[in-house]
Chains A and B, each alone.
Chain A
Amino acid sequence: MELVAIFISAVLVQNFVLYYFLGICPFLGVSKKIDSAFSMGLAVTFVMSITAVVSWLINNLILIPYDLDYLQIVSFILVIASLVQLVEMFIRKISPPLYQALGIYLPLITTNCAIMGLALIAALNEYSFVETVIFGFGSGLGFTLAIILMAGIREQLDLADVPEPLKGAGIALIVAGIMALAFNGFIGMLT
């Protein structure tokens, strides 16, 4: 049951975007249309799940046994950067149409704090292998959920009369704030 709790927590209660503030750049940049938001969400979930696996392996098979904890930051970020490269090459070969849809977003994912945040938080909480995978997948879904919701709202906002200075990032952040408030309601769900 602990696994279910971790999953639900990652998607709703401690949503990566609305609680941990991770993934804001793509969240603001790619949430203008629902389908691009969806593609970005998919790409992120995919990379996050793989990163969860690889970062756990590196942390628990190499870093901790050899007392190399301090290399966590360097190794994680290098792993992520390489993974994103590999994923990009892989998708390009396997499915050009998919590459067309996701392609440009992939390089952006490297500096997406969400991926690095995932690796760090899972390591901080000392999750087991299975827990880390569930956490990675759940966080990716949480990110996707948040970004799709945001895109839906912004598509509507396009037709509304937003004050000039708030157009774009300003109103997006305010909307995010209200969404964060709403998601606050999920706290205590797991008690």
Chain B
Amino acid sequence: MSTKSIGAEYLKGFWDENPVFRQLLGMCPTLAVTGTVITGLAMGLATTFVLIFSSLVVSSIKRLIPAQVRIASYIVVIASFVTIADQFLKAYFYPISKAMGPYVPLIVVNCIILGRQEAFASKNSVGRSFIDALGMSSGFILALLVLSTIREILGAGTFLGYQVMGAWFKPWTIMILPAGAFLTLGVLLGIALVIERKTMRS
């Protein structure tokens, strides 16, 4: 059972235990849909929806589930919310759904979600699980925004579709390609470690 303050419970998801930069989880979607800020944001919000509701449900029913079938149960819960998110996007945001391809259904295997159920929601109160989910989601959205902003501005000269770089700028096409995603994330991970070392020393 966690004993952190509510504030600390939330904030840990942002930096100390940032799911992407520190825990190295959920990298598939992070790399795949961060070519543009809009798809990165959509992924972040969809994952937030799934994480929060899955955590709420799992932590509410945790006492009813025998340990041996807990993973299977968590998976069914998560998969259901992913399906809802996917259907919602297909119905109300069709162009974005098309742009994201198979990656919305793939939220179901985003290790962040199952990881949080196993590590936290199944062992903590509903309230705390909600805060934890909120924090982790925020951290995830942060990672997605940083990556997609860099990739879209350098790779296409736009931000959310609006031109931000002048005509003098020749876009670095590599940034929108898979290679650019890998390279950017690798460098960002390095930077995250440097920042951590520096703050540890001071």
CA distance A89 to B55 in the complex (A): 30
Pick the contact of A180: B29, B87, B182 (CB < 8 A): B182
Whether B31 pairs with A21 at a CB distance below 8 angstroms is: yes
Residue in A closest to B21 when the chains form the complex, CB atoms: A169
Whether B28 pairs with A21 at a CB distance below 8 angstroms is: yes
Mask of A66-104 contacts with B, CB within 8 angstroms, 1/0: 000011111001100100000000000000000000000
Question: Is residue B174 within 8 Å, beta carbon to beta carbon, of the partner chain?
Answer: yes
B residues apposed to A, CB below 8 Å: 24-25, 27-29, 31-32, 71-72, 75-76, 79-80, 82-83, 86-87, 101-102, 105-106, 108-111, 114, 174, 177-183, 185-187, 189-191, 193-194, 197
Whether A169 pairs with B75 at a CB distance below 8 angstroms is: no
Contacts A24-B31, A121-B102, A180-B179 known; list 16 others, CB within 8 Å.
A19-B178, A21-B32, A22-B106, A73-B108, A74-B76, A74-B83, A77-B79, A81-B71, A120-B102, A169-B189, A170-B186, A170-B187, A171-B186, A180-B182, A181-B174, A181-B177
CA distance A25 to B181 in the complex (A): 15
The 6 closest A-B pairs by CB, nearest first: A173-B186, A177-B182, A177-B183, A174-B186, A180-B179, A165-B193
Mask of A152-184 contacts with B, CB within 8 angstroms, 1/0: 000000000001111001111110111011001
CA distance A111 to B26 in the complex (A): 10
Residue in B closest to A118 when the chains form the complex, CB atoms: B102
Whether B178 pairs with A116 at a CB distance below 8 angstroms is: no
Whether B111 pairs with A21 at a CB distance below 8 angstroms is: no
The interface residues of chain B lying within 8 Å CB-to-CB of A71 are 83
A-side interface size class: 35 or more
Segment 32-76 of A: residues with Cβ below 8 Å from B: 70-74
The interface residues of chain B lying within 8 Å CB-to-CB of A172 are 186
Whether B105 pairs with A120 at a CB distance below 8 angstroms is: yes
The interface residues of chain B lying within 8 Å CB-to-CB of A112 are 109
The interface residues of chain B lying within 8 Å CB-to-CB of A120 are 102, 105-106
Whether A25 pairs with B79 at a CB distance below 8 angstroms is: no
CA distance A39 to B87 in the complex (A): 37
Whether B32 pairs with A20 at a CB distance below 8 angstroms is: yes
> Could you tell me the distance in whole angstroms from the C-beta of B18 to the nearest C-beta in chain A?
13
The interface residues of chain A lying within 8 Å CB-to-CB of B32 are 20-21
CA distance A18 to B180 in the complex (A): 11
Pick the contact of B190: A74, A115, A163 (CB < 8 A): A163
Whether B108 pairs with A180 at a CB distance below 8 angstroms is: no
The interface residues of chain B lying within 8 Å CB-to-CB of A25 are 24-25, 27-28, 111
Name 9 interchain pairs, CB-CB below 8 A, sorted by A: A25-B25, A25-B28, A73-B86, A78-B76, A81-B72, A111-B111, A117-B109, A163-B190, A164-B193
CA distance A155 to B31 in the complex (A): 24
Question: Is residue A113 within 8 Å, beta carbon to beta carbon, of the partner chain?
Answer: yes
Question: Is residue A28 within 8 Å, beta carbon to beta carbon, of the partner chain?
Answer: yes
Residue in B closest to A72 when the chains form the complex, CB atoms: B105
Question: Is residue A189 within 8 Å, beta carbon to beta carbon, of the partner chain?
Answer: no
The interface residues of chain A lying within 8 Å CB-to-CB of B25 are 25
> Could you tell me the distance in whole angstroms from the C-beta of A117 to the nearest C-beta in chain B?
6
The interface residues of chain A lying within 8 Å CB-to-CB of B29 are 21
The interface residues of chain A lying within 8 Å CB-to-CB of B194 are 165
CA distance A50 to B111 in the complex (A): 22
CA distance A26 to B75 in the complex (A): 20
> Could you tell me the distance in whole angstroms from the C-beta of A51 to the nearest C-beta in chain B?
12
